[in-house]
């Protein structure tokens, strides 16, 4: 699969409103203080942990790891271009390990390895938080081919959730909801730039046909609720 580069680049996921609301949600899960140590697996441009660093001024800057090094990665965090499994085998312990919209890039075997290593790398009162798209009745605006690919991906996510449940055992579930209000023009640009993994392997012809469908299907402003399932595990 091609690498996903634009999921957090000029989308609602990179907006100040989204980041603020997401970090408020995180605050309900973990009590941050200046000594908190944070690892973000699949951090992208590190918008989330960068905002946390600005607010809490941690003594140890949050660490973000990803297999892609974007030019726009925030400068107030420590970024490492590295595979998560390799990194977790060697490094220190954390109060929060964040895995946001990343699990679908792991095979079943590697996901189990990731979870086992993450548990080892948590401090005694640390938490592992896993976020992934809601799999049932997902509201993300799609054209026909995009919807088909997304449903296939979400079905695989259900299998991965079962692996997570079996591996972590003591977990809790909540949802993070964000109300999106985006212009059709901007959403079309996001599709063209393949902002979500179900678009990555489509041909340019399929993307262009899909954009025509979106243009005829939706009004000038597209409104929907973006919902993430949050799986929380304490050490």
Determine if the pTM surpasses 0.85.
yes
Q: Give residue-wise pLDDT tens across range 96-132.
A: 999 999 998 899 999 999 999 999 999 999 999 999 9
Task: Look at residue 169 and tell me if it is in a domain.
Answer: yes
What's the whole-number average pLDDT of the chain? 93
Task: Look at residue 1 and tell me if it is in a domain.
Answer: no
CATH number at 25 reads: 3.40.50.150
Task: Look at residue 129 and tell me if it is in a domain.
Answer: yes
Task: Look at residue 158 and tell me if it is in a domain.
Answer: yes
Q: How confident is the model at residue 1 (pLDDT cuts 50, 70, 90)?
A: very low
Task: Look at residue 162 and tell me if it is in a domain.
Answer: yes
Bridge partners, 40 (sequence order):
64, 98
Question: What are the structure tokens assigned to 93, written together?
Answer: 């312990």
Helix axes 204-217, 184-192, angle to 10 degrees: 170
Q: What is the mean pLDDT of residues 37-57?
A: 96
Task: Look at residue 215 and tell me if it is in a domain.
Answer: yes
- Number of separate domains in the chain: 1
Task: Look at residue 93 and tell me if it is in a domain.
Answer: yes
Q: Which domain holds residue 81?
A: 12-234
Show the CA angle centred on residue 193, arms to residues 187 and 194, nearest 5°. 90
Question: What are the structure tokens assigned to 119, written together?
Answer: 């548990």
Q: Give residue-wise pLDDT tens across range 192-226.
A: 999 999 999 999 999 999 999 999 999 999 999 99
DSSP state of 88: H
């Amino acid at each position: 699969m091609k690498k996903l580069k634009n999921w957090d680049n000029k989308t609602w996921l990179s907006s100040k409103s989204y980041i603020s609301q997401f970090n408020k949600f995180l605050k309900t899960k973990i009590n941050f203080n200046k000594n908190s140590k944070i690892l973000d697996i699949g951090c992208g441009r590190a918008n989330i942990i960068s905002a946390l660093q600005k607010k809490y001024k941690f003594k140890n800057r949050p660490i973000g790891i990803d297999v892609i090094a974007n030019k726009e990665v925030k400068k107030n965090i420590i970024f490492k271009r590295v595979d998560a499994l390799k990194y977790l085998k060697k490094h220190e312990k954390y109060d929060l390990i964040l895995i946001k919209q990343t699990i679908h890039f792991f095979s079943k075997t590697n996901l189990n390895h990731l979870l086992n290593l993450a548990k080892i790398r948590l401090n005694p009162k640390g938490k592992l938080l896993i976020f992934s798209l809601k799999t049932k009745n997902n509201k993300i605006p799609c054209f026909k081919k995009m919807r088909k690919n997304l449903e296939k991906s979400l079905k695989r996510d259900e299998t991965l959730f079962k692996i997570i449940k079996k591996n972590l055992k003591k977990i809790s579930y909540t949802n993070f909801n964000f109300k999106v209000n985006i212009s059709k023009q901007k959403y079309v640009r996001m599709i063209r730039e393949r902002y979500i993994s179900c678009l990555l392997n489509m041909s340019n012809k399929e993307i262009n046909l899909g954009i025509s469908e979106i243009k005829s299907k939706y009004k000038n402003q597209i409104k929907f609720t973006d919902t993430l399932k949050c799986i929380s595990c304490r050490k």
